[in-house]
Structure 1
Amino acid sequence: MSHATKSHPLSLLGRCLSLAFAVGLSACGGDGGDVKGSFIRSATFPICAQVGSSCESSDETAAEIVAASADGMTLIYTNSPREEIGFVDIRDPAAPVALGRLAMGGEPTSVAVRGAVALVAVNTSPSFTAPSGELVLVDIATRSVLRRISLGGQPDAVSVSPDGRYAAVAIENERDESVNGGQLPQGPSGRLVVVDMVGAPSAWTTRNIALDGVNSLFPTDLEPEYVDINRDNVAVLSLQENNHLALVDLATGTLRGQFSAGSVNLSGIDLMDNRPALISQVESSADIRREPDGVAWLSSSRFATADEGDLVGGSRGFTIFNTDGSVAFSSGNLLDSLAARLGHYPDRRSDAKGNEPENVDSARFGDEQLLFVASERSSLVFVFDVADPTRPVFKQALPTGQNPEGVIAIPSRGLLVAASEVDDRSILTRAGLSIYRYTVDATPAYPTLQSADRADGSPIPWSAMSGLAASPTEANTVFAIDDSFFRASRIFTLDVSARPAVIRQELRITDRNGVLAATPAADAMTANRATTFDTTDRAAMINADGTVNLDSEGIAIASDGGFWIASEGAGTVVGETGRPVTSANMILKVGSDGVIQRVIRLPEAVDAIQFRFGFEGVAESNDKLVVAFQRAWNGEGNPRLGIFDLATSTWRFVFYPLEAVTSPNGGWVGLSEVTALGNDEFMAVERDNQGGPDARIKRLTRFSLAGVADGATVTKTLVRDLLPDLRAAGGQVVEKIEGATRLSNGRVLIVNDNDGVNENTGETLLIDLGRLF
């Protein structure tokens, strides 16, 4: 049976979203009504806090699937790398407390709760061809094992029925991806285990359901992936690689129904992984298998699937099915489009599965029936009102840790929890549990920035925000730039009067008049490069259509119109042979039309000691440009502040005194921004290169250049410690505060760079600090 559907960006849902984002709203109400409630992130619990209270350990952890105790006061999560489960006290959702860990004797793959007992599915397989596993029953209060039940195969998911009568365990017996390219069939086939939970846990019994008669793509290798149970004790199983769904009556152990998950036709999506990135959601693809992963019942007659894909599919969305196999709703390109609008689109996954929905859950909060879709690659949970399952209404998007795997609603306490599995201290990502509280009539705290539509109705795609510059005449207009993660560099116009702020326009920087192309080489750059800015460099920097690929790190308003852009150089002249110089540090004068008018280079003697941490911010003051170098060059004690006299076209340099490194993870401290305050006074962003529990230095400082001699070091004063502001967002502290500016009305804004959602959650915090001066 085929269930192919077309995407529908111009449906009622699409029009509502377009209008909402165009006017700066974060949601659309069902049937034109008001939004009844919103989720606000209360806290994020880093799993590394179970290993060491200050997360000083670099040992890999994870939080994959999460469940809650019956009273909603304790979270239980699976930690596959450490073969254990963990417990977290959330009596105060804003201050979760570690309760300890429990070894499972194998890889825990899922957890569910029945009363005082946690049911943990554990993979104990010695090999793919000899799968084995257990259902481990754990006393939640004492955090001790009550019983181990052999499952006779590798389990992937466990679910408990609403009445507590049954548990269902999906026995996947997963394939070996190194065999035959991971193609199916690869026996033994999977099945379903039903646990009859009558009496004490010691008396519980199991039944094997062979799923005979399931007519999927590979009937000899079913590989059930996920399972959920409705109030009629019917389980729905996703057979992901088979692109199939099966319904099982748990009381009788019989097949209630089965059908193909079908395929979709998508338009308005990006199918190419460009490097540097270029998000272009204008392509189409036909007959894409859904290949659903997570499933969740909305009622006894409808359920939702997260259509992640695995073998050849992945429709980048979610589907609501009727139990007869017909499609009540298919989201089309909606999630990819939303991710682009919110700065969370993972362009490096464009050639694969885009935002890649991983899991779903559904529950009633107040008067609202809600669906939660966890997007693995965009690190978001999308929230939809599904009062009418045939016409879901988008409410909001919630930022998570990197790669959310599990999501659970706890409506009895008004809470939602997302579990994120990626944990790598070297890339500043720690696995965690994100906890959100449902609050009636609250204004969503996220996103802080989103985009309006282009002329064709698609959202302006953005990410990797870098420098900021406030309009001197319009109190609520700010200009921003993206960095080298993206090709075809842009200047964005932000309306910061809205909440969230809105990117209204994008302006491509171009070399239409050949000014950049004619910039001469710096002959002194010879130690790690024959020359610089040669034909190869120009080919990489200037595109055929005249757009340019810069590493735009700073932006300032030019007093005579247009902008100054600070472009950071790439590569090191001396000391890092593996990082040859491929571009130099430059200041570019760009007209209000985006056309480059002038290129300013460093003196050759300074170019000759280039270190890869170069220009970060630029400011104009008193007919001079001031540019901040991120770190010290050539063994100098501190980074330079370059001062370029526009009248004489000459340079001079002073130094900025950095704080010492204090993070337990080491790293460095550098400058990220400089902003003119008037009267030779400037504001700077000083930060370390650490995030999460390891972050220590995120600061705004102030310094003066008045009377500072060439080669001298400026005196700085602390304006604001930004760590409390960053922690107030409820997530893990973001690393790269890259932009700061002061509006004409005195308010100060800061923004972080989300690295283009590459090894990053994609979270962007544009924070209004109020008047600081």
Structure 2
Amino acid sequence: MPTLHYRLVISNGEPNSVAVSSNGLVGVAVAVDPKQDNGLAMFFDTDGTLVGSITAGALPDMITFTNDGTKALVANEGEPDDDYVVDPVGSVTVIDVSDTTSLTATQVGFTSFNSQMATLEANGVRIFGPGATVAQDLEPEYIAVAGDDSTATIVMQENNAVATLDLSTNTITGIHALGFKDYSTLSLDLSDRDGGVNFQSWDNVKGMYQPDAMTSFVASDGITYYVSANEGDARDYDGYSEEERADDLSLDATSFPNGVSDADLGRLKTTTADDCGDTDGDGDIDFICSYGARSFSIWKYDSNGDFVQVWDSGDEVEHLMAVNDQWLNSYTGSRNDDKGSEPEGVITGEFAGKTLAFVALERSGGVMIYDVTNPAYPFFVQYVYMHDHVSPEAMAFVSGADSPNGAPMLIVANEVSGTVAVLQPLI
């Protein structure tokens, strides 16, 4: 039975993320009030003693370490205030933690991309905050480090993009749009007012991948692959909101000859920001842009340095949740008009010669387990539904070698219930 070893009290801000390095250093990303001010990265030893802290960027939202434990990386989201008047730049803080008595940090931003706004938008990067520069609009959410520590991939959820950070020079070398998922080839339920579970394909409806969490693993071919939980997210502030319902859109009559109703697409949350879905520029919507992809995906960098999709779970997560009687009570049909089961967190781990991906479903309250040993052909293994644990948010995998009972463990932090669950996978 796990026991509480110690509790860290962060008195000078709000801890948003915690990570432990391979050298046993505990890092905490701390946001301050107001969150538009620069936050902190704080470091503790495994007994809870503060060994150092250093300034990060605005709204530190996630912290992680390189595999060798010599660098800490902080994703500073840089969200605006609720009036959308103060909009700090998004950034990544790279911290040399090889000597905790003398921490040094490099703030890596996107100012050099301000002049490339038109090109980035043309390539599919969402840049749409009122009056924002590229550097202000890009909002780093999560970080995944390559297996050889050469680069880190920075997730920017609202922008539906990732950036590549060269860890040898601490510079951003590229920004890559993640594109859309075509719902015409899938079977999904996109309404909460259709009287039940009604899966069908949808012409002229697409999902923006918009991952929240991302993790990486090295496959047998020696390539680093990246696994994303495609939750989706909108900007919704008092001073600016991009959210629209589909039945409030001016829809193209050719694409939607029968219009939409609450029983089909009418209540689907969508956006018209950056003219999303207006392919011919005539002011009406030719395809509906929805938030998230209701899935998880596997990506890699190709030989040209482009970030490309290797595999996506398609509509499988939603179908597994909805059609199996054992899990039906956890299927949140009331969220079909929003983002479905909302894959929120993802982590990988090794067990019995296999690489497993664990995908936390925020709304359904459980964890999907997939075998991703072959990144091009993953397959479903198990769904773990935790009745007393609501809204899984973050996870940690403990290998068998590090586990107290010799078997691997998955530790799940659940946001709404305020609980921690410890699971052991059965393969």
Query: Into which bin does the TM-score normalised by the smaller protein fall?
Result: 0.7 to 0.9
After superposition, residues 177-576 of structure 1 pair within 5 angstroms as: 178-179=82-83, 187-199=87-99, 201-211=100-110, 212-213=112-113, 215=120, 216-218=125-127, 219-220=134-135, 221-233=137-149, 234-266=151-183, 267-274=186-193, 278-284=196-202, 286-299=205-218, 300-311=223-234, 312=270, 313-323=291-301, 324-340=306-322, 341=324, 342-343=327-328, 344-400=330-386, 401-411=389-399, 412=401, 413=403, 414-422=408-416, 430-439=417-426
Within the alignment, does 1:159 sit opposite 2:75 as a pair? no
What is the number of residues matched between the two proteins?
Answer: 329
CA drift of 1:144 comes to 2.7
TM-score if structure 1 supplies the norm length?
0.41
The equivalent of 1:748 in structure 2 is none
Distance 1:327 1:186, change over 3 A: farther
Cα distance between partner residues in 2 of 1:408 and 1:97: 16
Structure 1 letter corresponding to 2:313: S
Contact 2:181 2:206 in 1 (8 A): yes
CA drift of 1:246 comes to 1.1
Contact 1:102 1:144 in 2 (8 A): no
Structure 2 letter corresponding to 1:306: A
Contact 1:125 1:132 in 2 (8 A): no
Structure 1 letter corresponding to 2:422: I
Contact 1:125 1:154 in 2 (8 A): no
- The answer to which structure, 1 or 2, has the higher relative contact order (CA under 8 A, 6+ apart) is 1
After superposition, residues 609-624 of structure 1 pair within 5 angstroms as: none
Cα distance between partner residues in 1 of 2:307 and 2:86: 27
SS of 1:151's partner is: strand
CA drift of 1:290 comes to 0.8
Cα distance between partner residues in 2 of 1:437 and 1:326: 32
Within the alignment, does 1:102 sit opposite 2:8 as a pair? yes
SS of 1:102's partner is: coil
SS of 1:237's partner is: strand
SS of 1:241's partner is: coil
Cα distance between partner residues in 2 of 1:179 and 1:364: 46
Distance 1:186 1:308, change over 3 A: farther
After superposition, residues 578-597 of structure 1 pair within 5 angstroms as: none
SS of 2:43's partner is: strand
The equivalent of 1:507 in structure 2 is none
Within the alignment, does 1:131 sit opposite 2:125 as a pair? no
Cα distance between partner residues in 2 of 1:388 and 1:217: 32
CA drift of 1:335 comes to 0.8
TM-score if structure 2 supplies the norm length?
0.73
**5+ unaligned residues in a row in structure 1: which ranges?**
1-94, 423-429, 441-773
Distance 1:152 1:393, change over 3 A: closer
SS of 2:356's partner is: strand
CA drift of 1:283 comes to 4.7
CA drift of 1:439 comes to 4.9
SS of 2:319's partner is: helix
Q: What is the RMSD of the two structures over their aligned residues, measured on CA atoms?
A: 2.0
**5+ unaligned residues in a row in structure 2: which ranges?**
128-133, 235-269, 271-290
CA drift of 1:186 comes to 6.5
CA drift of 1:226 comes to 0.5
CA drift of 1:146 comes to 2.2
Cα distance between partner residues in 1 of 2:33 and 2:78: 9
Contact 1:244 1:259 in 2 (8 A): yes
CA drift of 1:99 comes to 2.7
Structure with the greater alpha carbon radius of gyration: 1
After superposition, residues 632-651 of structure 1 pair within 5 angstroms as: none
Distance 1:152 1:387, change over 3 A: closer
CA drift of 1:268 comes to 1.5
CA drift of 1:133 comes to 0.7
The equivalent of 2:263 in structure 1 is none
Q: Deviations over 1:10-60 (max 9, x none)?
A: xxxxxxxxxxxxxxxxxxxxxxxxxxxxxxxxxxxxxxxxxxxxxxxxxxx
The equivalent of 1:666 in structure 2 is none
Structure 2 letter corresponding to 1:225: E
Cα distance between partner residues in 2 of 1:339 and 1:399: 10
Cα distance between partner residues in 1 of 2:33 and 2:145: 26
Aligned-residue identity in percent: 30
Contact 1:271 1:283 in 2 (8 A): no
Of 71, 76, 79 in structure 2, the residue corresponding to residue 174 of structure 1 is 79
Cα distance between partner residues in 2 of 1:150 and 1:144: 19
The equivalent of 1:661 in structure 2 is none
Q: Deviations over 1:272-301 (max 9, x none)?
A: 1139x6222225262211111100112243
